[in-house]
Amino acid sequence: KTDFINFISDQEWKSIEPVSSWFGPSSFLMSSMSALFQLSMWIRHCHGYLTENVGIPVWGSYVIFALATLFLGLILGLVSEALEQIGLWLL
């Protein structure tokens, strides 16, 4: 508490550089990082639901997530390739 009061009264806060806009709370980088943390919490919630409520063994939940990851990669790859082909066709 004393250090904080001294920090304010001695105006030490003036010597600290402000956070750049790139690392600010509302920047794209920090919003993306927040979305990744929210995704990980959602995956954890789904894993808990599958193992506790549905009764799937832990390894079964891991298999489901692995297959979902592979399927999502396949879909994103196909969409990416289709967009590339459309871009080449438009040129």
The string of pLDDT tens digits covering residues 13-26 is: 788 877 777 777 78
List the structure tokens of 14. 């003036």
**Dist CA 65 CA 37 (whole Å):** 17
More confident residue, 22 or 51: 51
Q: What's the token pair of residue 31?
A: 């919003």
Nearest one of 43, 36, 35 to 62, comparing CA atoms? 43
More confident call, 42 vs 1: 42
Q: Residue ranges of the domains in the chain?
A: 1-8+26-89
Determine the pLDDT at residue 22.
73
Least Cα distance to 54 among 39, 45, 67 occurs for 45
